Every structure is written in structure tokens, then in C-alpha cells.
Amino acid sequence: MKNYILFFLAIFTLTTFCSCDDGRIYEKEVDIQRGGRAMKLTGRFSGISNWTDDYSVVVAGFNDKSEYAVITKSLPVNVADGTDIVMTLGGISDDVKSLKLCVISRLRECIVEFKTMEDEELTAVTDTILMDVGTLDVGMFSSIQSQVFDNRCVACHGQTGSASGNLFLTEDKSYHALVNQPAHKNSDILLVKPGSAEKSFLHLVLNRAGDTSMNHTDMLSEDEQPLLKLIDNWINEGIFLNNE
Ligand code: HEC
């Protein structure tokens, strides 16, 4: 019996020493990862807090192997619009090839990109990389405006002063032209019905060719499909977060 106790005691002592050793090595590794460069973001922001839970406004680092961020830090929410923010993201390792101010999904994929720094802008800096974005509206609807309407729609819907289908999607007009307004093509359906993306004509036009015969379903490329989801999420929930 005594032998058994001694035996277990020996094993116990051994494992204790081993784990101590492990601990120290592990700590060293963590320290190395914590090194690297830092980035300092400055800007005056509005709209940070009118995103739904599926998204976060962040500064993020990406390597060249994957579209998912390898390091992120969220901007503070619940700050008043027009607040000046100074924020630091540390521990940016060498495999980070681009830094972005962007909106990421829960999978840490960049959905909306406001500012990107890459290549020499990063490699030339050995310690703190500065990103100054000036005054920026990063709100959910503002992002749909800049990423979707301005890029893919206004050429026909309003930029020239006249709008196809009588629908103005230019900034300042788009929100009021869409929300709770009957479609010109079918006055039984609202263009945007708050809370019901699938009953909104905007959703049908962009996603369901058969229902509207509008030839709009390929307006966004394969890569831009998350933007369709963004529009749906905005109609379903984001619209209630006061982001006009
Ligand atoms: C190449 C020109 C063109 C582009 C680009 C375009 N549209 Fe259209 N859109 C039209 C035309 C033309 C109509 C009217 C079609 C009809 O009445 O049959 C229309 C109609 C619509 C309607 C229905 C309006 C209503 O009240 O009946 C919606 C919604 C719409 N477009 C959304 C968009 C969105 C969102 C984009 C960008 C992703 C976009 N369109 C890009 C030409 C365009």
C-alpha cells in the first residue's frame, strides 16, 4: 500500500513539474504573438450603433490566405453620433497584409469596407500604423446606400436627374422613396415593408426573377451576395434602429 502511495506521489510530482515547464514555454509563445505592430485609428463617426447583432463595425487585419479576419477590434457602440474616436489595435503580426475599417459578419468576413491600408502603407511602418478616416457615417442604411445603390443602381435610378421605374435611389432620396411606399409596378406591394423583407418589392426585384420579371437578379455579382442579405437584414430589423 505504502508503495502505491509513493508511486502516485512520484507521478504527481512529475506531472506538476511538467506542467510548470509547459506553462513557461506557452507564456513565451503568447508574448511573441502579442508583439508585432499596432494601428491607431482616428475619426469622427456616426451610425456605429444602428447595426443589427449580426454585424460589427471593426478595425480588422486580414492575411492573404483567407477572407476571414485574423484579428479584429470593435469600435465602441453606444457612443453619440459625431463622437471623435481614437482607438488602438495591437499585436498585428507580420502575416497581416491588409488592415481595414469595415463591417464584419459573425463569420468575421468583411461585408462593407470603408477604408483599407495595404502593401507599402503597412510594410513601411515598423511600429504604429496610423489610419485617419476623417468624418464617416458607418450606419447600416448609409452602408447600403454607398455599397449598393451608389455603385450598382443610381446610374439608372436617379443620377442623371431622371429615374428608371420612377424610383430614385440617390442619397437623400432613397430612404423616403423606398420605405412604406407602394411599388410603381405593383401598387399592392410596398417597396420596403419594415419587418418583412420577403414581402418587400425591393427584395423580390433583386432576388426573385420569376415574381417580378424585372431582370434585376444579376445586378450584384457572386461576391456581392452578402449585400443582398444585408438589405434583407436591414428591412427585417435594422430599419427599426433609427438609421434614416
Ligand atoms: C441598367 C439600368 C438599371 C439598373 C442598373 C438598375 N435598375 Fe432598377 N429598374 C430599371 C428599370 C428600367 C426599371 C423599371 C422596369 C419596369 O418597370 O419593368 C427598374 C425598376 C426597379 C424597381 C421597381 C420600382 C417600382 O416601384 O416598380 C426596383 C425596386 C429597382 N429597380 C431596384 C433597383 C436596384 C436596388 C438596383 C441596384 C442594385 C437597380 N434597380 C439597378 C433599371 C435599372
pLDDT digits (tens, 9 = 90+) for 50-79: 999 999 999 999 999 989 999 999 999 988
pLDDT of 213 reads 81
What's the pTM value of the predicted model, to 2 decimals? 0.84
The residue ranges of every structural domain in the chain are 37-138, 141-241
pLDDT of 4 reads 60
How far does residue 236's CA lie from ligand 1's centre (Å)?
21
154 has a pLDDT exceeding 70 = yes
- Using a 6 Å CB cutoff, which residues line ligand 1? 148, 152-153, 155-157, 164-165, 167, 183-185, 191, 201-202, 205-206, 214, 216, 219
Of residues 6 and 22, more confidently modeled: 6
pLDDT of 121 reads 84
Closest CA to 105 of 58, 154, 39: 58
Contact 218, 205 (CB under 8 A): no
Other CB atoms within a 10 A radius of the CB of residue 53 amount to 8
Residue with cell 443582398: 228
The one-letter amino acid at 126: T
Closest CA to 36 of 117, 129, 122, 127: 127
Task: List the residue whose alpha carbon is closest to atom 19 of ligand 1.
Answer: 165
> For residue 231, which atom of ligand 1 is closest to its CA?
35
32 has a pLDDT exceeding 60 = no
Bridge pairing between strands 37-46 and 71-74: unpaired
CATH code at 37-138? 2.60.40
In the Cβ-directed half-sphere of 35, how many Cα atoms lie within 13 Å?
7
Residue with cell 511602418: 125
pLDDT of 25 reads 40
